[in-house]
Chain A
């Protein structure tokens, strides 16, 4: 297993390097530069600014300097748009926010989704099943960009219970709506996957054998059925975890959280190469790490799986 982890980490390094190089060239070949503005800068002013950020150098030199600074100094460089901040600053400020409500959303979606799915499968074809399935479908049909307006109108405007946005240090009233908006759709999917997986497992021979041996239902479910049920759920949860942390652009913007998604979109629109690249690397690394963790979880859930 340790050899597997080391092997995967060694593969991750060139993967991330390719990601950096590809993103670097894609950004530079995209039309419009970081200092393209409605009021075109006089050539000399533009030249001064480009020199300040090293953009007057050949592309290969810019890439070399960029990689050198990351590897040697762990410095992702200055932001082109926010003159008194660097990329490390922006990530350090935005990522904890995205991570906080992303993790809570992930937790909420998983706990509620799995519970609903299990309850529905155990009480197959009862009102609990219909209720859970109905709730799952409704939740799936409510992605965050639909949930956002519904939540703000309901809890902020009509009921006046929650602030309409902001972060305020992550106090709970500011967390509730982003977490609900982000988790609802995933919760529905998880519930449906869990339910169908559990139903399949409950109909398998080893469960029938367990029942035949006289084991109580509770023991059969918790000890024998749960682990295999969760295998497809885990394979779904890996990417979901990355999505909730990286795919929170809408939530960031809609609820003005100050999270990284907002900075990411802003940097793409303003061609802030340094921020864009820094966040891309962060997301890429996160994806690699989460995929690795998913594989490890797989092995734990099903010891037959060997790497």
Chain B
């Protein structure tokens, strides 16, 4: 036994040594590319992140930082597939409502303590605890964890949450209903473990760099609010020896044009491309201007509530307006960043979702326009009875350009009069949420990579259904999809109904449009959720 242990240690040491030698020699251990001496990755974030507390963070840039600082049960690879994180794997019971995760025994917190199943239990209970009032507690409810909803509502104690540490390295999760994509949801920051001792010792200040203890590949070493946050290698991380990037710097730059200038000056490795500038940048820097599909949609929603305009209660009017939108002009002339045109609500990039062939997508724009005129005339609108309505969007140059283009298309093709309303973000949300509009801009990015993250928005009782669309068959299909292992047909039928009923006008699906330094290796362009991990990146020698 003793000899075996020695052999194991010797083996581990030698493999570490080989890996270290490979990295020290400046070549990537897998690809053989020459590595840069300075392994610092610097990127731009639009705004200061709300928090780096995994159970509290609610914005995208905050979640990106949290994914580096903490590690959940499962991670995603460069294609968005599930790969082991702290958990090496999981099993389910026969009824698919109990998941059991096995945790690796080499996982450690940055202070050297082992990461235990109880750390996950603490983190998850924290997420639903009304006392913390996490803005993402609803995510735990969405995960169907037993009693989550009742605990959030204050009807049950936190200890009733359906999660148990069976032993130090075994975590059991009980669901109130089978959820086929439950493991995918464990890559979300809300489900990451939390260090109880540290949180209890420092309270809200536990996330300050001097106090913070985390279990991810990086630790927070500097945070200058509104300016920068810096994370550096966590030597305690179980896979530290295979991590290449030493330091990650997130710079807050509110103005995207300034960010682009600073990128051009070599201060950044990555920034977003402002709308319309992609073709020029691609021509000038073909290796650095990149565009790839994202898991987000952009649409306009009709107000179908009782307060909504009478005209929109007629599906022919809605369909006519949708048909007359020349999506190619919007994607190619206005945005020009490689965004795909949208004829369905869920993007093609969604995992396990095949975009159904809806009638509109197979037509030419001339055919669509012609049909739009017919439908509008049938509905009783034309020169003698012109259709007019207001449409609202929130402050942004590209939203404005798209709204103006839509208004012009409808005016020229159908003689429809639109009044545009540009509203400040919070006012916009209030106005849209109170159905105080005729037609409103909307957009959605998936919380997880499955079509229901989009289609659920159009369920009758969804809190996000601002247009108040109601269709019993859609509700039935979506309810069935929750417990079905084969959802393709269900989702196809939902999309077909949406194409017929047109409660929304899908305009385009998002693309990630970046300037990315060609020295950055392994950026996960095929991960449509853009759940990226700095530990998977590397900087190539120039």
Interface, chain A (partner B; CB < 8 A):
30-33, 35-42, 44-45, 48-49, 51-52, 78, 81-85, 90, 93-94, 149, 152-153, 156-157, 160, 163-167, 252-259, 262-263, 266, 269-271
* Residue pair B154, A44 in contact (C-beta under 8 Å): yes
- Ordered by A's residue number, 15 sampled pairs between the chains whose C-beta atoms are within 8 Å are A52-B133, A83-B56, A84-B53, A85-B225, A164-B261, A164-B265, A165-B251, A167-B224, A256-B226, A256-B227, A256-B251, A256-B258, A259-B226, A263-B225, A266-B47
* Residue pair A269, B424 in contact (C-beta under 8 Å): yes
B464 at the interface (CB under 8 A from A): yes
Please pick, from A83, A84, A271, the residue contacting B426 in the complex, using a CB distance under 8 A. Answer: A271
- State the majority secondary structure of interface residues on A: loop
Bound CA–CA A90/B58 (angstroms): 19
Bound CA–CA A31/B52 (angstroms): 28
Bound CA–CA A78/B203 (angstroms): 13
* Residue pair B258, A93 in contact (C-beta under 8 Å): no
Q: Please, which residue of chain B has its CB at the minimum distance from the CB of A90?
A: B225
Bound CA–CA A160/B131 (angstroms): 51
* Residue pair B427, A31 in contact (C-beta under 8 Å): yes
Counting chain A CB atoms within 10 Å of each CB, the highest count among B133, B225, B254, B443 belongs to B133
For B56, list chain A residues within 8 Å (CB): 83-84
* Residue pair A258, B251 in contact (C-beta under 8 Å): no
B50 at the interface (CB under 8 A from A): yes
Q: A78-B204, A83-B51 provided; 5 other pairs, C-beta below 8 A?
A: A30-B426, A84-B52, A93-B225, A94-B226, A259-B226
* Residue pair A83, B53 in contact (C-beta under 8 Å): yes
Interface, chain B (partner A; CB < 8 A):
47-48, 50-53, 56, 58, 130-131, 133-135, 137-138, 141, 152-154, 204-208, 224-228, 251-255, 257-258, 261-262, 264-265, 267, 424-427, 429-431, 433, 443, 463-464
* Residue pair B265, A156 in contact (C-beta under 8 Å): yes
For A167, list chain B residues within 8 Å (CB): 224, 227
8 smallest CB-CB distances across A and B, nearest first, come from A32-B426, A258-B227, A48-B133, A164-B262, A258-B226, A49-B133, A83-B51, A48-B130
Q: Please, which residue of chain A has its CB at the minimum distance from the CB of B208?
A: A84
* Residue pair A36, B224 in contact (C-beta under 8 Å): no
Bound CA–CA A166/B52 (angstroms): 21
Q: Please, which residue of chain B has its CB at the minimum distance from the CB of A155?
A: B265
For A166, list chain B residues within 8 Å (CB): 227-228, 251
* Residue pair B53, A256 in contact (C-beta under 8 Å): no
From residue B486, how far is it (CB to closest CB) to chain A in Å? 28
* Residue pair B204, A84 in contact (C-beta under 8 Å): yes
Q: How many A-B residue pairs have CB under 8 A?
A: 140
For A252, list chain B residues within 8 Å (CB): 226
For A37, list chain B residues within 8 Å (CB): 58, 135, 429
For B443, list chain A residues within 8 Å (CB): 38
* Residue pair B262, A83 in contact (C-beta under 8 Å): no
For B424, list chain A residues within 8 Å (CB): 32, 269
For A51, list chain B residues within 8 Å (CB): 133
For A85, list chain B residues within 8 Å (CB): 225
Q: Decide: A45 near B137, CB < 8 A? Known: A83-B56, A93-B225.
A: yes
* Residue pair B133, A269 in contact (C-beta under 8 Å): no
* Residue pair A42, B252 in contact (C-beta under 8 Å): no
* Residue pair B254, A253 in contact (C-beta under 8 Å): yes
From residue A122, how far is it (CB to closest CB) to chain B in Å? 41
Q: Please, which residue of chain B has its CB at the minimum distance from the CB of A250?
A: B255
For B267, list chain A residues within 8 Å (CB): 156, 163-164
From residue B244, how far is it (CB to closest CB) to chain A in Å? 25
* Residue pair B133, A164 in contact (C-beta under 8 Å): no
For B47, list chain A residues within 8 Å (CB): 266
From residue A166, how far is it (CB to closest CB) to chain B in Å? 6
Q: Please, which residue of chain B has its CB at the minimum distance from the CB of A258?
A: B227
Please pick, from A39, A160, A163, A257, the residue contacting B464 in the complex, using a CB distance under 8 A. Answer: A39
Bound CA–CA A35/B52 (angstroms): 18
Q: Decide: A32 near B427, CB < 8 A? Known: A42-B138, A44-B152.
A: yes
Bound CA–CA A52/B206 (angstroms): 18
For A262, list chain B residues within 8 Å (CB): 226, 254
Bound CA–CA A232/B302 (angstroms): 59
Counting chain B CB atoms within 10 Å of each CB, the highest count among A44, A163, A259 belongs to A44
For B205, list chain A residues within 8 Å (CB): 84
* Residue pair B225, A258 in contact (C-beta under 8 Å): yes
For B226, list chain A residues within 8 Å (CB): 94, 252, 256-259, 262-263, 266
From residue B277, how far is it (CB to closest CB) to chain A in Å? 15
From residue A167, how far is it (CB to closest CB) to chain B in Å? 5
For A259, list chain B residues within 8 Å (CB): 226
From residue B463, how far is it (CB to closest CB) to chain A in Å? 5
Counting chain B CB atoms within 10 Å of each CB, the highest count among A37, A51, A83 belongs to A83
* Residue pair B258, A254 in contact (C-beta under 8 Å): yes
Please pick, from A44, A49, A157, A266, the residue contacting B135 in the complex, using a CB distance under 8 A. Answer: A49
Bound CA–CA A31/B394 (angstroms): 14
From residue B226, how far is it (CB to closest CB) to chain A in Å? 4
* Residue pair B262, A82 in contact (C-beta under 8 Å): no
* Residue pair A83, B50 in contact (C-beta under 8 Å): yes
